[in-house]
Amino acid sequence: MDTPALYATAWAVLPPLIAIVLALITKEVYSSLFLGVLTGAILYAGADFDGILNHLLYEEVGDNKFGIISALSDTWNVGILIFLVILGIIVALMNLSGGSKAFGMWALKRVKSRVAAEIATVILGIVIFVDDYFNCLTVGSVMKPVTDNFRVSRAKLAYIIDATAAPVCIIAPVSSWAAAVSSFAGEGEGISLFIRCIPYNFYALFTLVMMFAIILMRFDYAGMVNFERNAIENGDLFTVQDANAQMADAADEGSDKGNVLDLVFPVIVLVVSCVVGMIYTGGFFDGAGFVTAFSDSDASIGLSMGALVALVIIIAYYTIRRTISFNQCMSCVPEGMKAMASPILVLTLAWTLKSMTDSLGLADFVSGLVEGMSGAAVGIIPAALFVIACVLAFASGTSWGTFGILIPLGLAITKSHPELATPIIAACMAGAVYGDHCSPISDTTIMASAGANCNHVSHVSTQLPYATTVAVVSAISYVIAGYVSSPVIPLVVGVVLLLGTLFFLRGREGSYRVPDSANFNREAE
């Protein structure tokens, strides 16, 4: 089919816009995503029914493939799905063995307050910086028993998990995200450019400040208020009931025979195996250096390969220890797959929606906007690129796709403005992370909901005000960064502005201060 009449126009924004708005209005994500996909197919094919059906399911145009079937046949996507299924199986094994339960009981003896439970979750999320998918599901599985006992709502847990996923990975030089960013930079520039951008990655740094501030100031605002109040005062961790989350919770009830090692050992094995898998795909064992191997790694193959090796070791470990029998281990295979069914469906539809926006030229539309903007006041360029990256990543649900669109454009702009090279590239990265962090069609957002066993729309609606608060402060910092030669001043101004905003919000009517009586242990009730 020829290029559609609406290619690279503002209409390209309509499919993701419909999906996002419907999801927030209806509180239901499956039909919302599907209607967004269908809208994209209609805009592409027009009144041609066969064309709509083909584009919806599978259509190949040149080197590009579009539709639901193409999303499920893409090698990268399949690798991620395999990784998720294996991760679901490992989580089911840890739960059945009683490892998660034992860790929860162990942690409860040491975690004495609600604040400590939340801080511990943040720290674990920061420690697991290798990959955002792995972070989301592992932190959720490990910390749910602890946060549940202190009546931390699942929406709040999902926010903490999500805020320590992409925002942490984007400032960790040894991560799949560093590899992705490096691949879009010039040869030999990848990792060094990534490291230079860390002090300018205001959104990621301010998100960490935001989390600690909200926890230590013991208050919430906007949509999170209802969820936290209901959890603390009524013991309802969900507020919006979700059948999939409740089924996953029911499956989390494990044996009383397990000990802390039954959780710690599998997690360590999984981390090590995933790191080895990633550097293996990057040529580490063929002579490449560790950093180079991580830069050149294929995260999809490396993570699925590492998870598969870890699964074999973990099953052998439980069987040898006789914590659970081999037959019981095998019973976790379908259970793990069932637990991942919902996120896999949402991911598939989100990937398909991304292909619809690609076919309608969303990237080219945004590129045109950026190129038209480059002649504006020089100092505003980092802030302008940050805002454009935020909008593009939020609408498309992909940060890595946004990297691919904006980082090359940013590098082109820096040829005429070399003094702004670092803040410009950092702004592209930071804006992409905002979209990945809070877009309802972002795979990381979906994984955070799954990791916390939280209703997806509940997670999105409660997280969005927090993430947007940080994004506004970050935009102001990028304006300052465009006119000064050091990241120190915009960092200091941003932190002061963010904390000042939070103190203001804390004093306003409608915010919710966590009562002192919330420092309880539900196990003791």
Are 443 and 200 in contact, with CB atoms under 8 Å apart?
A: no
Find all residues with CB under 8 Å of 293, minimum gap 6, and list them. 278, 279, 280, 282, 283, 284
Q: Is 60 exposed, middle or buried (0-12, 13-18, 19+ CB in 10 A)?
A: exposed
Q: Is 250 exposed, middle or buried (0-12, 13-18, 19+ CB in 10 A)?
A: exposed
CB atoms within 10 A of CB 375: 9
> Over 60: is that where the pLDDT of 296 sits?
yes
Nearest by Cα to 23 from 458, 387, 463: 458
- Where are the chain's structural domains? 74-179+242-342
Q: What is the pLDDT of residue 179?
A: 57
Q: What is the pLDDT of residue 431?
A: 94
Q: Locate 379 and state its tokens.
A: 């100092």
Q: What is the pLDDT of residue 377?
A: 65
CB atoms within 10 A of CB 283: 14
Q: Locate 485 and state its tokens.
A: 């030669």
Q: What is the pLDDT of residue 72?
A: 85
- The per-residue pLDDT for range 231-279, each reduced to its tens digit, is 999 989 998 876 666 555 655 555 666 788 888 888 788 878 888 888 8
The stretch 51-77 carries a mean pLDDT of 81
The stretch 426-448 carries a mean pLDDT of 88
Residue of higher predicted confidence among 1 and 60: 60
% of residues, the chain, pLDDT over 70: 85
- The per-residue pLDDT for range 90-143, each reduced to its tens digit, is 878 887 888 877 877 787 788 888 999 999 999 988 887 766 777 787 788 778
Q: What is the pLDDT of residue 408?
A: 67
> Considering the chain, what is the average pLDDT of its residues?
82
The stretch 77-87 carries a mean pLDDT of 81
Q: Locate 146 and state its tokens.
A: 């602890």
User: What is the spatial distance between Cα 116 and Cα 101, in angstroms, rounded to a whole number?
Assistant: 19
Which of helix, strand or coil describes residue 367?
Answer: helix
Torsion of CA 492, 498, 499, 500, to 10 degrees: 100
> Over 60: is that where the pLDDT of 11 sits?
yes
Q: Which amino acid is at 340?
A: M
The stretch 48-53 carries a mean pLDDT of 84
> Over 50: is that where the pLDDT of 180 sits?
yes
Q: Locate 154 and state its tokens.
A: 């699942």
Confidence grade of residue 24 (pLDDT, cut at 50, 70, 90)? low
> Over 60: is that where the pLDDT of 150 sits?
yes
Q: What is the pLDDT of residue 260?
A: 83
Q: What is the pLDDT of residue 279?
A: 85
CA atoms within 13 A on the CB side of 443: 24
Helices within 98-198 (DSSP H only): 99-110, 114-127, 132-149, 154-163, 166-169, 176-183, 190-197
Q: What is the pLDDT of residue 57?
A: 86
Q: What is the DSSP string of 378-404?
A: GGGHHHHHHHHHHHHHHHH--HHHHHH
% of residues, the chain, pLDDT over 90: 27
The stretch 493-518 carries a mean pLDDT of 90
Confidence grade of residue 367 (pLDDT, cut at 50, 70, 90)? low
Q: What is the pLDDT of residue 228?
A: 94
The stretch 40-45 carries a mean pLDDT of 88
Question: Looking at 236-325, which runs of residues are DSSP E strands?
Answer: none
Helices within 296-360 (DSSP H only): 299-321, 326-359
- The per-residue pLDDT for range 215-232, each reduced to its tens digit, is 999 999 999 999 999 999
Strand partners, 59: 66
The β-bridge relationship of strands 219-220 and 512-513 is antiparallel
Q: What is the pLDDT of residue 500?
A: 97
